[in-house]
Structure 1
Amino acid sequence: MFSGSLYILLGIATATIHLVSATRKSVSRDNEILVHTPSGDIEGLINKTWTGKTYYSFRGIPFAEPPIGDLRFKPPVTIKPWRGIKKATTEGPVCFQVFSEFWGQADEDCLRLNVYTKTLNGNKPVIVFYHPGAFYSMTGTSSWFGPDYLLDHDVVLVTVNYRLDALGFLTTGDKYAGGNNGFKDQVESLRWIQKHIRSFGGNPDQVTITGYSAGSNSGFLHMVSPMSRGLFHKVIGMSAGATNNWVIAKNPLRFAKKLAGLFNCSTDTSEVMVKCLRAVPAKDLNNKFNEMRVLGGIPMVVFGPVVEPDLGNGEERFLTDKPANIIKSKQFTHVPVVTGITEYEFISWSQYVLNNETLSKHLIENFDSLAPSLFDYDDKNKEEAQKITNTFKKFYLGNKPISKDSVHELGQWFSDFSVIYGEYTTAKLLSKYSDKPVYFYKLSYKGLYSHMREPVTNQTIGPVHHDDLIYLFYIERGFPKFTESDPDAFMVKYETSFWKNFVMNGNPTPDGSPVQWLPMTYNDEKYLDFDTKLTLVKGLPFPERMNLWNRLFPVL
């Protein structure tokens, strides 16, 4: 079992299969499979799902040129075709990040993706998954996001690495480092899929962007990005929206200068500063994680999404305005959406902080001065910020002082700030301004496994951030693989069946479901509660908490 706090700091002898092209074939021998693609031949492996069904895995496929040397802090460059056979039988490197050695072998040349498919012919819907990690950590490799559950269904799954933290999102707001390169990596992966996915039996006209946390932010930002138009057709966004107050960096240049200062780089001009940072070893850039933050991995996003200015140089801009403004203007990609939350979300953060002697002491003794930075209203003047802090303390804490016993209360506060309010407002805005349906859910099921346990009893408390992923992916590094006789196996079948149905036809309710999952509208809210029993519930979760946030930080 791995600690939830790490998220905070945080792949037949002689068989021949015909492809779409009548002139090329894909051949499998022993446990290997060879596929012909527009960029070159790729060799993968033959595997089995959790129920024993055969699928093919192709891991570590490069989808862009290595973003190294002069390409650091620049948009990705389209991969060139190769000669010979590209081996895709082992994982590619993870992108450099905090605790890189925990996630896997790291390298700056990390723009790789994995493709999993049951057959290499056909025209199957494609699920593209962008991993979580607050834009500074994690990876799409199979030890963290294995296909063993989803590939029970007739879909193609693609998991993607994108550049993280400063290497992916540092910006100076000018031509020397325009920003959003991690998102532009994702766009390049979508363009790769459009060109190559037929070779793996996928349909480029039936692509669903799926993501969790930062990956969910990503999916919604692709909806409002001009770069992503025409590259996808549905979105599943889990546990993060596009309208959280923290999503768009308010003054990203200050973080670039702060990082540069840690390496004694001159900040006199962007050109000089970026040139100096290009010379810093990639792993060293990520070793300054704590120096760039206030407390316990907060602020979560130091280098992340930015609104890009028009530099007049013809370079594509991923994000041209704040997401809420683009949604309200209706100038976004209108596609069906599934989105939702877990019941307890980021209570794991408060448990981590309050059970750490040093962090809890610092938080308790300095709470009023830390709160504006922790909850992202430090752009307010001191008097206004204190009023907001007092309002929150009264609502969540009943005006009781912060203590080591405040795990649940502080956890609710942090969950609403980091996930739930942004999820709520994104869903509300889309239900008002999109001409496509929006389906909302809440995971309430308390399973045997979780990313958080009570420290004394070692019992799960209920679903926290990342827990719905346990039923969608085989997380080899964290949990045992389910068998069909396991008590939680029904939830694997629930979640993967709803997701499969949605990516196939835009309606998540599968045949034989005990409940019809209906879309919400702006004036008729409803959500599906995933628990031992599936229930369609009127309204949206936690209305009093959401009303407070919308009063203090109005989006709707």
Structure 2
Amino acid sequence: MLPRACVLLALCAVVCAHAHEESPPANDESAPVVRSVSGVFRGSWMASRRGRRFQAYRGIRYAEPPVGELRFQPPKLKLQYSGEVNASEEGPACPQPLPASSYMDEDCLTVNVYTPHTNSSEQLPVIFYIHAGGFYSMSGRSDFAGPHYLLERDVVLVTINYRIGALGWISTGDAFAPGNNGMKDQVAALKWVQRNIAAFGGDPNSVTITGCSAGSVSVLLHMVSPMTKGLFHRAISISASPISKAPMVTHQRHLAVLQAQILKCPTDNTSVIYDCLMKKPWKDFGDSLPQFWLLGPSNPAGLWMPVVEPDVGQERYLSEDPLAAIQHGRLHTVPYIISQTTDEYFGKSFPLFLQNAANQEPIDEESKRIAPISFLLPPENRSTAMERLRELYLHNKTLGNDLEGKKALGRFYGDTVIGFGVHRLANLMCRHSKHPVWYYEFAYVGNNSHYQDPDGKPQAAVHFDDLLYLFTLSYAFPTIPLSSKDSHVVDEMTAMWYNFARYGDPNPRADTPELSALSWPAMTPRQRNYLRRGDQLTVHQNMFEDRFKVWDELYPIDY
């Protein structure tokens, strides 16, 4: 269901160290200072790619450290800070499998705030970004979500960490671990924004939540959760959906048992699992992640995830399946942008199926074994579904390590993990939302990509690629220079986000002339319009529906 984030884990080793280059000493009188109702924060200065100076406040705890007795517990919002808070440096990433020298800690519930605020009385729209990573990797640090493009606009950007892996998502179906603490972390961060963001120049009544992949799933769930009503006002989901081929699960006890086994804990019952895991060092949780994968790195693509919580006396983040909530109108909708890329998982499947000869036969002859792991197909009617889908994508040919095979398998893999769920989400929301829904395909192939061929050339617009033009991603990519052929894409993408954050509509305004040729209609059930972000911005209809109609026949729902 979720992202291919751990393709990036090898890169994390070079980025998850302390970031000092733009951080002044804590007592530097030239550093910007903000005073909110919760405390005083001393930040640092940064500059956009065009040289616009803005303020950065990084590594601010928005909740009490989730350590000791607070491990596996819902977050406790931090309401007051004693003394001046040094917010001039990045906070740690949450535990994940990185080298010992990487800057990580279980005490990782931090927020970064970037603002062009110049003590003006005007409040700016807030963009609140929820990072990708399959709920088990990555972070909201500036190396994964740099502000240098968006802060050329008059917006306040907020990026966050939330607990990942077992520390954030363990769910045993009972009172010991009902689940969703990672989502409740995000809620706490949204409450922190409501309480504090005005001091940073942001408008608490104009908050746009946005996220990619796991963050995209989070965005829709916040519309369904009773805990988040009134905390945001617009939403953007990039490349993932919590609604796809099967209902959301109510627990993941099997993963709790596996985590216990990996860390040499008893598994007799939930109580002993919980007690033992409470005593384990935090680093053991991050280091154990690769042992959850069954067919190589990041496979299965979906692992830890949100659940529909049992009622065991707690405040529940999710009390019903999101599909049912949407169908019955039990959600709080806002203006919404939904997207997917042209070739979401192009390249992700190659090492697993095509470059490993031992795995070619299983995908051709033993689909019952491979399908539930890699293609995330529900057990009901699995063999029939696999037969139809093999015919649709692979034309029942034996796979080979050639471009035709790569494209066919990559599209199959991308549609089952990302594409069909996004299609389903867009078609549901344009029917049931009280607000407009805009849909787009990111098809632009620039100088860089999260998949490159052996010669280092981008081959397709893949998962995460639209982030290249919204954030600086210094973990792996250079900042796009103004002289680059890709520069106009940065200007156009940030302009659409800027307009949407201000007005709930991405279409051009007088102060965004780079969008002057754009006329992007909202999606409706009868006119299923979408914007194609290729070399140009063009409007089309019925995105990939020739393929998705087969999926809809295999996994029918009432739209």
Q: Shared fold by TM > 0.5?
A: yes
Compared with structure 1, are the counterparts of its residues 509 and 333 closer, same or farther at alpha carbon in structure 2 (3 Å cutoff)?
same
- AA in 2 matched with 1:62: R
Q: Are the counterparts in 1 of residues 508 and 518 from structure 2 also a CA contact under 8 Å?
A: no
Q: Are the counterparts in 1 of residues 362 and 369 from structure 2 also a CA contact under 8 Å?
A: no
Determine the C-alpha separation between the residues in 2 that align with 1:420 and 1:79: 38
Which residue of structure 2 lines up, in the alignment, with residue 14 of structure 1? none
Q: Are the counterparts in 2 of residues 194 and 204 from structure 1 also a CA contact under 8 Å?
A: yes
Determine the C-alpha separation between the residues in 2 that align with 1:369 and 1:428: 31
Moved more, 542-551 or 297-306: 297-306
Which residue of structure 1 lines up, in the alignment, with residue 549 of structure 2? 547
* SS of aligned partner of 1:228: coil
Which residue of structure 1 lines up, in the alignment, with residue 285 of structure 2? 285
Which residue of structure 1 lines up, in the alignment, with residue 194 of structure 2? 194
The offset of 1:73, in angstroms, is: 1.1
Q: Are the counterparts in 1 of residues 263 and 284 from structure 2 also a CA contact under 8 Å?
A: no
The offset of 1:251, in angstroms, is: 5.1
Determine the C-alpha separation between the residues in 2 that align with 1:90 and 1:8: 22
Determine the C-alpha separation between the residues in 1 that align with 2:350 and 2:6: 9
Cα-to-partner distance string for 1:390-441 (whole Å, 9 max, x where unaligned)? 1111111111123433321111111111111111111111111111000001
Which residue of structure 1 lines up, in the alignment, with residue 331 of structure 2? 332
Determine the C-alpha separation between the residues in 1 that align with 2:259 and 2:440: 39
Which residue of structure 1 lines up, in the alignment, with residue 7 of structure 2? 6
Which residue of structure 1 lines up, in the alignment, with residue 23 of structure 2? none
Determine the C-alpha separation between the residues in 1 that align with 2:432 and 2:442: 26
Which residue of structure 2 lines up, in the alignment, with residue 21 of structure 1? none
Which residue of structure 1 lines up, in the alignment, with residue 392 of structure 2? 395
The offset of 1:178, in angstroms, is: 1.4
Moved more, 154-163 or 249-258: 249-258
Which residue of structure 1 lines up, in the alignment, with residue 295 of structure 2? 295
Determine the C-alpha separation between the residues in 2 that align with 1:259 and 1:358: 31
Q: Are the counterparts in 2 of residues 431 and 438 from structure 1 also a CA contact under 8 Å?
A: yes
The offset of 1:40, in angstroms, is: 1.3
Which residue of structure 2 lines up, in the alignment, with residue 490 of structure 1? 488
Q: Are the counterparts in 2 of residues 240 and 419 from structure 1 also a CA contact under 8 Å?
A: yes
Aligned length: 531
Compared with structure 1, are the counterparts of its residues 286 and 245 closer, same or farther at alpha carbon in structure 2 (3 Å cutoff)?
farther
Determine the C-alpha separation between the residues in 2 that align with 1:258 and 1:469: 33
Q: Are the counterparts in 2 of residues 98 and 136 from structure 1 also a CA contact under 8 Å?
A: no
- AA in 2 matched with 1:523: R
Which residue of structure 1 lines up, in the alignment, with residue 54 of structure 2? 55
Q: Are the counterparts in 2 of residues 95 and 108 from structure 1 also a CA contact under 8 Å?
A: yes
Which residue of structure 2 lines up, in the alignment, with residue 524 of structure 1? 527
The offset of 1:289, in angstroms, is: 2.3
Q: Are the counterparts in 2 of residues 31 and 46 from structure 1 also a CA contact under 8 Å?
A: no
Q: Are the counterparts in 1 of residues 251 and 308 from structure 2 also a CA contact under 8 Å?
A: no
- AA in 2 matched with 1:394: E
In structure 1, list runs of 5 or more residues that go unmatched: 12-26
Q: Are the counterparts in 2 of residues 5 and 349 from structure 1 also a CA contact under 8 Å?
A: no
The offset of 1:522, in angstroms, is: 1.3
The offset of 1:157, in angstroms, is: 0.2
- Structure-2-length-normalised TM-score: 0.90
Determine the C-alpha separation between the residues in 1 that align with 2:323 and 2:459: 34
Q: Are the counterparts in 1 of residues 266 and 273 from structure 2 also a CA contact under 8 Å?
A: yes
Moved more, 371-380 or 193-202: 371-380
The offset of 1:486, in angstroms, is: 1.4
Which residue of structure 1 lines up, in the alignment, with residue 254 of structure 2? 254
CA RMSD of aligned residues (A): 2.2
- AA in 2 matched with 1:340: S
Compared with structure 1, are the counterparts of its residues 372 and 92 closer, same or farther at alpha carbon in structure 2 (3 Å cutoff)?
same
Q: Are the counterparts in 2 of residues 4 and 451 from structure 1 also a CA contact under 8 Å?
A: no
The offset of 1:273, in angstroms, is: 1.2
Instruction: Choose which of 460, 463, 469 in structure 2 pairs with 1:462.
Output: 460
Moved more, 197-206 or 472-481: 472-481
The offset of 1:257, in angstroms, is: 1.5
Determine the C-alpha separation between the residues in 2 that align with 1:287 and 1:29: 37
Q: Are the counterparts in 1 of residues 243 and 322 from structure 2 also a CA contact under 8 Å?
A: yes
* SS of aligned partner of 1:347: coil
Which residue of structure 2 lines up, in the alignment, with residue 263 of structure 1? 263
Which residue of structure 1 lines up, in the alignment, with residue 310 of structure 2? 309
Q: How does 1:473-512 map to 2 (within 5 A)?
A: 473-511=471-509, 512=513
- AA in 1 matched with 2:536: K
- AA in 1 matched with 2:475: R
Determine the C-alpha separation between the residues in 2 that align with 1:100 and 1:356: 27
Determine the C-alpha separation between the residues in 1 that align with 2:494 and 2:100: 31
Moved more, 259-268 or 234-243: 259-268
Which residue of structure 2 lines up, in the alignment, with residue 23 of structure 1? none
Which residue of structure 2 lines up, in the alignment, with residue 106 of structure 1? 104
Which residue of structure 2 lines up, in the alignment, with residue 179 of structure 1? 179
The offset of 1:254, in angstroms, is: 1.6
Q: Are the counterparts in 2 of residues 431 and 521 from structure 1 also a CA contact under 8 Å?
A: yes
The offset of 1:347, in angstroms, is: 1.2
Determine the C-alpha separation between the residues in 2 that align with 1:174 and 1:28: 48
Q: Are the counterparts in 1 of residues 179 and 251 from structure 2 also a CA contact under 8 Å?
A: no
* Identity level (%): 37
Q: Are the counterparts in 1 of residues 178 and 251 from structure 2 also a CA contact under 8 Å?
A: no
In structure 2, list runs of 5 or more residues that go unmatched: 13-18, 20-25
Determine the C-alpha separation between the residues in 2 that align with 1:272 and 1:397: 47
Determine the C-alpha separation between the residues in 2 that align with 1:503 and 1:82: 30
Determine the C-alpha separation between the residues in 2 that align with 1:401 and 1:368: 16
Determine the C-alpha separation between the residues in 1 that align with 2:205 and 2:533: 30
Moved more, 367-376 or 118-127: 367-376
Q: Are the counterparts in 2 of residues 244 and 422 from structure 1 also a CA contact under 8 Å?
A: yes
Compared with structure 1, are the counterparts of its residues 247 and 236 closer, same or farther at alpha carbon in structure 2 (3 Å cutoff)?
farther
Determine the C-alpha separation between the residues in 2 that align with 1:222 and 1:282: 28
Q: Are the counterparts in 2 of residues 98 and 286 from structure 1 also a CA contact under 8 Å?
A: yes
Q: How does 1:72-221 map to 2 (within 5 A)?
A: 72-99=71-98, 104-119=102-117, 120-121=119-120, 122-221=122-221
